[in-house]
Amino acid sequence: SSGINAEYGDITDGDNVRGFAAAAGVADSEALLEFSRGPEARQQLIDNTTEALESKCFGAPWYVVTNPATGRREKFFGHDRVEMLGWVIGKEYKGHNLPQV
């Protein structure tokens, strides 16, 4: 994958990552960027990919969340399902607003 998103640009570009992090309220975008390039992040990616495959993931984005009321793990596919994910965890989805960089 190229890391290029038609709407938001190259998500592998450091300046874009800094912009996204700042818009999300991340206090230290440099630390986030450094972490993302290290072995811990790589292992987390491997672990997450393994979990996704074990949960029968069939696309991206793929979310697996635990319903706090029931303890049941719920699976969601697609960015258009984030509102439903919010219902499961008891949070209101207010939409997304990624920065234009």
- pLDDT score of 9: 75
Residues linked to residue 5 through DSSP beta bridges, in sequence order: 9
39 CB-near residues (< 8 Å, 6+ apart): none
Residues linked to residue 10 through DSSP beta bridges, in sequence order: 4
- pLDDT score of 1: 47
Residues linked to residue 4 through DSSP beta bridges, in sequence order: 10
Q: CA-CA distance, 83 to 98, in Å (whole number)?
A: 16
Kindly give the confidence (pLDDT) of every residue in the chain, 101 residues in length, as a single tens digit, with 9 standing for 90 and above.
455 555 667 888 899 888 888 888 899 999 999 999 999 999 999 999 998 899 889 888 888 888 888 999 888 888 878 888 888 888 877 776 655 55
- pLDDT score of 10: 82
- Exposed e or buried b for every residue in 76-101, given b needs 16+ CB within 10 A? beeeeeeeebeebeeeeeeeeeeeee
Q: What is the pTM of this model?
A: 0.59
